[in-house]
Structure 1
Amino acid sequence: MTSRLAVTPLRYHPDVEHIQPDEPQTARDLAETVLSIAQKTYADSGHATRSVHAKSHGLLAARLEILLDLPRELAQGIFADPLGYEAVVRFSTTPGDLFHDSVSTPRGMAVKVLNVEGARLPGSEGSTSQDFVLVNGRAFNSSNGKAFLRNLKMLALTTDRLEGTKEMLSKVLKGLESVVEAAGGESAMLKSLGGNPQTHILGESFFSQLPLRHGDHVAKIAVVPASDNLRALAGTRLDTSEDPDVIRHEVERFFAEQTAVWHLQVQLCTDLAEMPVEGVETWDEKKSPFVTIARLVAEPQPAWTEARSQAVDDGMHFSPWNGIEAHKPLGAIMRLRKLAYEKSAAFRSQRNATSVVEPLSCPFAESGAGQKSASLANGEQ
């Protein structure tokens, strides 16, 4: 029998969002800034990369298994039925430059769930996938849209310059962040500037940070380690002093022999006053905890190859706006992202030999593996 939920979630309605008159101009300014980053790195390398999260560390074929007997409030959107979906997972770090791993910035995890059904979000009508874009921190690093634009402009000014200086700055910021964390805190700003602890990316938990629709409700998304081998890596530090690609090499070493299992979780909004959609504040997990609704499984495989990089780094884009209406991104920051993501993908597609397209299947999965099917997942943790 389907269990009952411990909280009473807010029902989604369009009035949870409050669009400001100046948002269209801010969105255009943001998109122009994103393109300026891409243009700088392209001028230097002759290859168009992402304006943010340019460096990938793992490119995986995976499957998403929806749990059985979810409460009605959780069984929403692509999670409505206990199915299994083919998926592509991309691990990355945030800069638009391909830095030495000693410049330690936040880690990203993007999940593309393939062949989903449902009414599409505007601009994604030609796609059949659902993207979730996540970072290893609960809090977004800008307080509002204007601050987001200011911070991105600062990043644009330093793009493709002074890598050695950034390595030294990163050392200082990592020390400051360790002091903050020792006191029980966390600074999204220090991490974004290069102060992220030099941790193993597979031990991290990842968060949408910002809300999206969860069918009839509103939620934030998390993907957290579930298998013992991933949990054992939580907090594990890497020596980044010698190997510029040590994060990637550690991911390759893991997936040479091991299977990874993550839990995909949702945190439902129960009160707009305390869990605002337009703000960037973290939501109180005591009032609404993250609840597991699916498993993400990646079996042993070559975790990064040039062919995979061409297929995913060049040939795919990941955007919270690539999906179905049941998982519509919400709030000002999410709205401002839409145009910037579209412009960035178009820039890469126009300049590289590999065009950006939405896949119907994972280009490097075994034949038939992970395609939509009856899920093997159950409610056990």
Structure 2
Amino acid sequence: MLNTGELKMSWARQYMPVLGAIRKRFEAQKPLSGTRIGMALHVEAKTAVLVETLAAGGAEVYITGCNPLSTQDDVAEALNSVKNVHCYAKRACSVDEYYDAIDRVLDSNPTVTIDDGMDLIHRIHTKRRELLDNIVGGCEETTTGIHRLRSMAAEGKLEFPVIAVNDTPMKRHFDNVHGTGESALSAVMITTNTLIGGKWFVVAGYGFCGHGLAKMAHGLGAKVIVTEVDPRRALEAHMDGYYVMTMEEAAKIGDIFVTTTGNTSIITGDHFPLMKDGVILSNAGHFNVEIDIPWLEEHKEGMEKRDGIDTYIIKGKKISVLAEGRLVNLSVPKGMGHPVEVMDLSFALQALCSEYIKNEGPKLSGGVYEVPNDIDVSVAKLKLSSLGVEIDKLSEYQEKYMTSWDIGT
């Protein structure tokens, strides 16, 4: 009889046909034989299907979490029964336990890394530099990690090649828009049991994640406010039909806030005193730095704790923070993360990019690299095939027209 973790993985598998097709090839060809893959990702059912696929391809896989609250313990247990897989993640771990688990992954002396937030790569470059000689390259899953990696690369401190999986169209336009949009909103709704329709819903940041969240909230009848620092994105939000204002102004009228910037200090002590009684705050960025929790802890007059909700009393008003300000879609007690079909695409990219970096990494210098276009397109083709959708093809004449400069009016 399957345990709960195996049941979750079985459910995810049936809605991940793209990764399933890749797994069949991996099982036959074993393209990852001899590879030790060190991973720090959200350990839940969809991630487990990726891990199985990598192991089926011949890799030895060592994995831990990338967020202290996002691991599903039953899935972590189930992963340890998969051949050639070693999982060290556990939910609600302390900071010390979190980094101890990362070190256990790195003790495997990985040749390829897969990160969500760049904690593995940061640890390697700062604390475990003895591992650098054996690493051929890595992959990064999320916006925050890419920001950190590009900063490292700009300073000449990134010592092996990393594929920016987050930045490719098949990730940004599906995982970031639809995945974050649906899952963050679902987490808020299932945790608070409050209505979205008619509420002032504040989205901090109008990148791909903010786009998706604003669209979903608007679809449920919310009055959507967007806060931004980029004038082009702010103008785009305005033209898309949303209210655009500063966080100081939004703080006075917002009912529900979700931060999606990947930056720090988005909602701070300047904003909390302006807020309504009963306001709900949450974060859909990777790290728990967008909402200033230390300020709330220091200034609280009282506190109420519920499952996934910390309610602070500030000047007699209740300000509720979901999931301790951590990634809301995975860190609330019933958070399931992005929809399965969305992660099928993102993790298909991870699997194929792992194969690519294993083969091509030794030829590349340190830095951040785009996902090869043929990999991105192949994932789209596999998904369309699984849906039974056919599309047009360019004729030879059309291809010539699109690549010529001397055909005009």
Q: How would you bin the TM-score normalised by the shorter chain?
A: under 0.3
Higher RCO structure (Cα 8 Å, ≥6 apart): 1
**More helix as a share of residues:** 2
TM-score, normalised to structure 2, is 0.20
**Structure exhibiting the larger radius of gyration computed from Cα positions:** 2
